[in-house]
Amino acid sequence: MKRARIRYQGETYDVTVEAENAVRLPSGELLLEDQVEWLPPANGSMFALGLNYADHAAELSFKAPTEPLAFIKSPGTYTGHKQVTWRPDNVKYMHYECELVAVIGKPARNVKREEALDYLAGYTVCNDYAIRDYLENYYRPNLRVKNRDSTTPVGPWIVDAAEVPDPSNLKLRTWINGELKQEGSTSDMIFDIPYLIEYFSSFMTLQPGDMIATGTPEGLADVVPGDEVVVEVEGVGRLVNTIVSEEEFFAARAEEV
């Protein structure tokens, strides 16, 4: 089952996703994908992994970490499927990051690796955009690189954990304007999802709705206003996003107030 959060005619709904990405409202009305506003399907804290693919670390000329390199993203950074993300003015390089995201389904504290997947609600996809101009040190990610408003598309939905029997063997792909730019596999993760759940829950309690973004493989490229960026995780979802300028983004936001 695929579960999503959408907005329609000013109201927010939790819905299930049916054939061809149609969603059904509690009233029974069936709506097509383009008739609704897609919201992030979870709104907990996001624990994001840096350099969790050896090929990506090598691409950036860094050694692979010996323990998880993690940072936290706040809910204000999230945006949904078919929404926009803005590129700051006067930056030289902003890139996408296609990532598999594990969504916590029940409180997890001191969880053992062997039981870790039992604590998941399911999986979703994120595009963890990064503004490399502000990167001071990959082992200590700068907030200006990763925590800007509406710069982390998440979704379109959460797929039940039972429907993804092997999260460690999924293809990841990214397209810019229809051109394939990135392709990899979760089999190349340095720290897999059971390890990460055990690791985080050893010193804190993970809560329902929290997310673990598991990193991205090699194959990065710059994105600019006007680009359509599509990230896809096999068996989980295909997440579409458009880049706009800083001026355009904040002008539109001001009109909404």
Q: Summarize pLDDT for 71-112 with one digit per residue, the tens.
A: 899 999 999 999 999 999 989 999 999 999 999 999 999 999
pLDDT tier, 62 (very low <50, low <70, confident <90, very high otherwise): low
Helix (H, G, I), strand (E, B) or coil at 55: helix
pTM value is: 0.93
Q: Which domains does the chain have, with CATH numbers?
A: 1-39 (2.30.30.370), 42-256 (3.90.850.10)
**Number of residues that this document lists for the chain:** 257
Q: Taking residues 120-143, what's their average pLDDT?
A: 79
Nearest-CA neighbor of 237 among 125, 97, 96?
A: 125
Report yes or no: 22 and 31 within 8 Å, Cβ to Cβ. yes
Does residue 231 register a pLDDT over 60?
yes
CA R_g for the chain: 17
Collapsed DSSP state (helix, strand, coil) of residue 91: coil
- Cα separation of 132 and 93, whole Å? 6
Peptide bond into 156 cis (omega under 30): yes
Residue 254: per-residue pLDDT? 80
Residue corresponding to tokens 């670390």: 57
Identify the pLDDT of residue 192: 95
